[in-house]
């Protein structure tokens, strides 16, 4: 009888030891999830705000920003077509930044869904292990778990709708306006800080594309140009690293997510259609397409921001509960 009691005591001790190990594992996973959720609570509204700002960019689609450069009469006769220095220096970055906004929003939606669910699952596992090891602590944890579940359900309902909207926005059946080319990809990347966009006009003697009309017979005519120059800067808000970090955590939590976010991890890219139109001696770039690209992105970004907006307060509420939960867990779990 005594031997059986000793065996039972040993088995009980082993079960407690196993439960304690499980508790530590669950807590570590919850801590990782909580940090990612805290990070995305900051990143999500930043991407949303970038989309809203981008929506004010309709003027950038004008000829000044994406169209043909000026045609200058040279002092010695003839005409030369100049580069559009705004496009060369600034506007092309706006296109990439716009695609980054969409890619960041989509990846964050995937990551948030996965990490939020994993946090709740790890919490449930923790409570089971705690019952096995230290049943006296379960009542307080149960109350906190109920609060977490309530805010999670609200967030998940919104994320499901938002994820579908973002996916539709980038798919062939999009209700947004179609881009004027097919070779493009939204992806994880930094987004343009439009509040700090700058362009400074420079002196003459810039870079012409070439002769717009047949020059005079003066051999020096080609050596003198009067194309305007300029310099532009469009600082980026560094969101790519944080979005990728959240994506990495979501893949650890659920390997199936990798397939959904893999296309976004290569970054944003686009290729302007080849061709253009002939004018004088030149084959000019496809300026109308340039203007269309920027104009479409400017017009459609408010819709992306609109998809994201309802999630923001729900995410903030969920994050508050998550961080409070971690505090409760740290105090009550042995």
Tokens found for residue 92: 């092309």
Residue with tokens 């090891």: 133
Does pLDDT of 176 surpass 70?
no
Q: Which letter, b or e, does each residue of 27-53 get, where b requires 16 or more Cβ atoms within 10 Å of its Cβ? A: bebbebbbbbbebbbebbbebbbbbbb
Residue with tokens 């990143």: 43
pLDDT tens-digit series, residues 36-53 = 999 999 999 999 999 999
What pLDDT was estimated at residue 18?
Answer: 54
What pLDDT was estimated at residue 93?
Answer: 87
Residue with tokens 């039972």: 8
- Which residues, in sequence order, are CB contacts of 256 under 8 Å at separation 6+? none
Task: Quote the pTM value.
Answer: 0.80
pLDDT tens-digit series, residues 18-32 = 556 778 888 888 899
* Dihedral in degrees, nearest 10, Cα atoms 41, 29, 187, 302: -20
CA atoms within 13 A on the CB side of 68: 17
From the list 257, 288, 251, 253, the residue with the least C-alpha distance to 273 is 288
Q: Of 71-85, 132-146, 318-332, which gets the smallest average pLDDT?
A: 132-146
pLDDT tens-digit series, residues 69-121 = 888 887 777 777 888 888 888 888 888 998 999 899 989 988 988 898 898 88
Does pLDDT of 276 surpass 70?
no
Residue 333 exposed, middle or buried by CB count within 10 Å (0-12, 13-18, 19+): buried
Residue 152 exposed, middle or buried by CB count within 10 Å (0-12, 13-18, 19+): buried
What pLDDT was estimated at residue 83?
Answer: 83
What pLDDT was estimated at residue 297?
Answer: 84
Most confident option among 9-13, 215-219, 311-315: 311-315
What pLDDT was estimated at residue 68?
Answer: 83
d(CA 294, CA 56): 11
What pLDDT was estimated at residue 70?
Answer: 84
Mean pLDDT of the 228-233 span: 85
d(CA 270, CA 189): 14
What pLDDT was estimated at residue 124?
Answer: 83
Collapsing DSSP states into helix, strand and coil, what is residue 42?
Answer: helix
Query: Is the Cβ–Cβ distance between 170 and 270 less than 8 Å?
Result: no
d(CA 299, CA 309): 17
Mean pLDDT of the 121-131 span: 81
């Amino acid at each position: 009888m005594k031997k059986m009691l000793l065996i039972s005591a040993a088995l009980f001790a082993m079960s407690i030891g196993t439960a304690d190990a499980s508790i530590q594992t669950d807590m570590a996973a919850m801590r990782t999830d909580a940090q990612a959720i805290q990070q995305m609570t900051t990143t999500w509204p930043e991407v949303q705000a970038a989309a809203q700002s981008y929506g004010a960019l309709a003027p950038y689609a004008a000829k000044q920003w994406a169209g043909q450069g000026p045609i200058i009469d040279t002092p010695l006769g003839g005409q030369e077509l100049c580069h559009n220095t705004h496009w060369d220096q600034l506007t092309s970055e706006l296109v990439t930044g716009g695609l980054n906004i969409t890619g960041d929003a989509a990846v964050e939606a995937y990551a948030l869904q996965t990490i939020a669910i994993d946090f709740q699952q790890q919490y449930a596992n923790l409570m089971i292990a705690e019952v096995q090891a230290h049943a006296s602590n379960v009542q307080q944890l149960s109350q906190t778990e109920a609060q977490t579940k309530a805010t999670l359900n609200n967030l998940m309902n919104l994320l499901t709708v938002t994820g579908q909207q973002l996916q539709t926005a980038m798919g062939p059946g999009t209700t947004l306006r179609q881009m004027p080319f097919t070779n493009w990809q939204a992806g994880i990347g930094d987004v343009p800080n439009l509040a700090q966009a700058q362009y400074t006009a420079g002196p003459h003697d810039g870079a012409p594309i070439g002769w717009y009309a047949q020059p005079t017979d003066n051999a020096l005519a080609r050596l003198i140009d009067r194309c305007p120059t300029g310099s532009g800067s469009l600082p980026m808000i560094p969101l790519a690293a944080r979005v990728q970090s959240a994506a990495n955590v979501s893949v650890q939590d659920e390997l199936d997510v990798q397939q959904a976010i893999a296309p976004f991890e290569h970054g944003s890219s686009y290729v302007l259609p080849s061709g253009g139109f002939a004018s004088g001696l030149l084959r000019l770039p496809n300026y109308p397409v340039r203007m269309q690209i920027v104009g479409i992105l400017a017009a459609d970004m408010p819709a992306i921001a609109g998809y994201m907006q309802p999630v923001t307060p729900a995410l903030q509420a969920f994050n508050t509960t998550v961080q409070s939960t971690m505090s409760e867990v740290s105090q009550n779990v042995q």
